[in-house]
Structure formats: structure tokens, C-alpha cells
Structure 1
Amino acid sequence: MIEIHQFPCLSDNYGFLLHDPESQETACIDTPDADEYLRQAAIKGWQITQIWNTHWHPDHAGGNAAIKAVTGCRITAPEGDAAKIDGVDRTVRQGDVIMLGDWDAHVIDVGGHTLGHCAYYLPDALVAFVGDSVFALGCGRMFEGTPPQFWASLSRIKALPGETMLYCAHEYTASNARFARHADPDNAELADYATQIDRCRAAGLPTVPAKLERELLTNPFLRADDPGLQARWAPDGHPGDAVATFAALRAAKDSF
């Protein structure tokens, strides 16, 4: 089976190394901290052969040049963000498939946080590396996109199998849970989830990855098509409007 090594780096990022034991290929999923990625790969005894960037922000692509200088790895980046990313060898967009050994990774357009943001979904492993597009109980700030674009992106994530594990890039879950409970106070599943999150963080444990089927029941940004949330959050006169509900939720979270 493919191996995923997750480790903390910077102030609240997670780093991910994806390793195929058969081919001995290893991919960095983003590069927030080059030194830590190289150190973790050395601890595991893995040789970095690829970098898969999700978007251009420095805490996701800032280590590209240093890692490539040491390893000679090949860098893959989303077409829409590639001009802002160092050392790109290959650009990808929605529907493309890239490989780590014999493992397929499907590229999903999840633009909204940045215009070109992409995710990498491995259907045979039921894992998706989603960067800052979606978090456990949250989603990324809408720095460059629009509400219709971002909702379309989240809808692509919603369409993945419920068993998919979402590897998001930051430990934001406790903060996200506080807003989620404000946004959706009558959600019993959410209340249980928030309690478990508090216990995990008190014990120093990560809340990432997150299982999609649970996020579909509890993450308000993935539930903007829910009639109850629409009644609470959609502007007057727009019942049934998931985009308007998502926009209202995102704006509320920005000032929460």
C-alpha cells in the first residue's frame, strides 16, 4: 500500500510525504518548509522524486527550489498558479492524471482560495490532498476567486466517495469548529465532532486527515445546499441558493 507520512511544520502547517514502496518514488505534497521535508525524508529513508503543489502561496510552494536543488525532483503545479511557483516542470489542470509509481492521482480544480488551486485525489487509496481549499469543518479564505467558483470547487470535493480521507494543510479545526457551531447550532453530529476535536487537541493529537462523509454532515461550507442552512444564512429572497449561502457563510467566517 502507498504510505503517507504526515508531520507538523511552520506554525500550523502539515507536511505530507507520499511514498510508493514498490517504485521507491516519494512525492512532497506542497513544500512549506524545505529543511523539515528533507529531514523527514531522511528519517524515513525515502528519496524525494516529485513535488506536487496545490497552489502558489509561499507556505505551500516556498520550499520548491531548495528541495529540487538537493534532490533533482520533478515539480508539478496547477496551470493557473504556475507562473507564481518556482521550478515548475509540468503543469496540470482539471481532469489530468499524474503518477507516483503505478498509483494514479487525479487532478481536481478547486479554485477559489487562489484562482488555480488544485487537489490531488488517489482513488485507489481513497485519499485527497486538498491544500487550503477545504479544511476539517472549514474552507480556505476566498483570496482570489468568486463564490460561484468556490462553491463549484467544493461541489467537486463533495462528489468524491464518502470514505475519502481529506488531507488538508493546516491545523485549523478547533477554530473552525467554533464558527461551525455558531453557523449550525442545532447540528447534533457537529456537537459530537467538536467535543472529539477538543479532546484531540488537548492531547496534542492532529485532527487531520478528516473523513469526507463526516464533513458532509458537519462542515457548514460543504452544506450550503442544505435547506436549514439556507434558511439561516441565505439573503432574503434567495431560498435554495447554495452560492448565496456559501458567500454569506464565508463572509461571516472572515469576521468571526
Structure 2
Amino acid sequence: MLEVHQFPCLYDNYGYLLHDTESGETVCIDTPDADEYLRQAARKGWQITQIWNTHWHPDHAGGNSAIKASTGCRITAPADDAAKIEGSDRVVRHGDIATIGEREAFVIDVGGHTNGHVAYHLPGASIAFVGDSLFALGCGRMFEGTPAQFWTSLTRLKALPSDTMIYCAHEYTASNARFALYADPDNAELQAYAEDIARLRERGLPTVPTKLERELATNPFLRADDPAMQSRWAPANTPGDTVATFAALRAAKDSF
């Protein structure tokens, strides 16, 4: 059995500890705040044995060294970001496998936010840790990649089983919902989702994880291949172009 322990840290990050009850192994999914990860693991009575980094940004890998010094854990990092990540013991690329106990996590290249960004998909548990590549009703800002690269990454996530629970790294959903309603104002499922989000945030509750099935129907960035979105967002000189539609949506969100 796998248990995911989710907790807030820093300003709007979520920390995740993934624990395998059979082997006793515990994996940090990214390390935004070393002290908080160590506190949370101690409260659960879990020994941290691994870190799986999704990308190099300090609010995802900044706690690596302190956690490794405290626990002796092994660090897995994406190959194309590894030079910027301290303490890496193993680098992984698309199609590689990370393990916790007997459980397998498949590494997915989701470059775009950073060029080396990866996600970890555990099909046996129907969960995926996606870092800053995909958010509830959003996607990461495109700091290093290209629109074509990022869209390819999102199509890989779109292809996961629809019941996959998506664990993203930030509580951005309320602001993402405001943009999504602007980008796709006639989407009734999105309107209902936005109402659910507002109720959760009013109570101080998290909006993640989110089920992929709902994101496929409501997340404007995952719907850049939808003709209705293309008719609204594709530039006039590239009608029906999915990558151009995605690029237009991302640019609009950047200035929204």
C-alpha cells in the first residue's frame, strides 16, 4: 500500500511524502522546505530514503542537501536539469523507472517549464506527481521550453488513464480558474468546477490533487486541440493549429 502525505510549505507550495507501508521506504517528491519535510516525516514516524526531483528550481530542489545530510537518502534527478540540482545520485530520462519498495514509477518527459522537467507516474496507484508542468486548471509558466515542446509534454499527461490523480506542486487553482473562465466562458463543466474551487478555498482546503478526467474537460491548456478553443484562440494566420493555440493561451495567461 502507498500513502501520500500532503502538506503546505513555503508560500503556496505543497510538499509530498510518498510512503510504502510494505518496505517502509519514504520518498520526498521535491524538497521546497527541508525543515518542514523532516518535521512531517518525524510526525508520521517515517524514515526518508529517497528524493525524486521533478526539476531544478529552488522551490523544488532547494532542500536536497539538508535532507540528504540528515537522512542519508538517495536523490533521483532529471538528467537535463541535474547539473543544477545538488546531491544527485541518479539521473533519469523519459521512459526510465524509479522504484519505492516493489512499486514502479515511470518517468515522463514533461519539459517546457524547464527543459529537463519530468513527472513520475505510478500506474499501480493511479497517481502522478507532475511538479510545475500541469496544475489544476493551468500549466507551468514556459521559462525554458518552446510551445511545441510543452504541448508535446501535455499530450503525454493527457494520455494517462483518466482516473489518474494529479499531484501538482502549488495552490494556484483559484487564480487559474479565473483565467480558465475567461479563456473558455461557455464551458458548463468548468463553471461547476470553479464553484467547487471557491467553496474549498473559502474553507481553507486544498484543491489538489485533481483527477485527470476533470482536467481534460475543463483545463484550457489541455484543450488546445479542441476546435472550439482553436476557433477562439488560434491566431488568424494559423487557424486550427494546436501549438499556436496553446502558445496564445500561455501568452494570455502570462499577462492576465
Specify the SS of the correspondent of 2:80: coil
Distance 2:252 2:182 in 1: 10
Distance 1:151 1:240 in 2: 15
Tell me the CA shift for residue 98 of structure 1: 1.1
Instruction: Give the structure 2 partner of residue 205 of structure 1.
Output: 205
Tell me the CA shift for residue 238 of structure 1: 1.8
Specify the SS of the correspondent of 2:55: coil
Deviation per residue, 1:44-66 (Å, 9 max, x gap): 00000000000000000000000
Matched, 1:22 2:54: no
Q: Any gaps of 5 or more consecutive residues in structure 1?
A: none
The code of the aligned residue for 2:227 comes to: P
Specify the SS of the correspondent of 2:178: helix
Q: Which moved more, 1:237-246 or 1:127-136?
A: 237-246
CA RMSD of superposed structures (Å): 0.4
Instruction: Give the structure 2 partner of residue 3 of structure 1.
Output: 3
Q: Which moved more, 1:200-209 or 1:231-240?
A: 231-240
Distance 1:98 1:134 in 2: 20
Distance 2:68 2:80 in 1: 21
Deviation per residue, 1:78-127 (Å, 9 max, x gap): 00100000000000000001100000000000000000000000000000
Tell me the CA shift for residue 239 of structure 1: 2.3
TM-score of the two chains, using structure 2 as the length reference: 1.00
Specify the SS of the correspondent of 1:201: helix
Instruction: Give the structure 1 partner of residue 232 of structure 2.
Output: 232
Distance 2:207 2:216 in 1: 16
Q: Any gaps of 5 or more consecutive residues in structure 2?
A: none
Instruction: Give the structure 1 partner of residue 85 of structure 2.
Output: 85
Distance 1:45 1:37 in 2: 12
Specify the SS of the correspondent of 2:205: coil
Distance 2:237 2:62 in 1: 44
Tell me the CA shift for residue 219 of structure 1: 0.2
Matched, 1:163 2:168: no
Matches within 5 A, 1:87-106: 87-106=87-106
Distance 1:198 1:98 in 2: 36
Distance 1:157 1:35 in 2: 31
Distance 1:118 1:38 in 2: 24
Distance 2:93 2:6 in 1: 25
Q: Which moved more, 1:238-247 or 1:132-141?
A: 238-247
Matches within 5 A, 1:1-256: 1-256=1-256
Runs of 4+ in 1 over 2 A off after TM superposition: none
Matched length: 256
TM-score of the two chains, using structure 1 as the length reference: 1.00
Distance 1:19 1:240 in 2: 44
The code of the aligned residue for 1:250 comes to: R
Tell me the CA shift for residue 240 of structure 1: 2.1
Tell me the CA shift for residue 6 of structure 1: 0.1
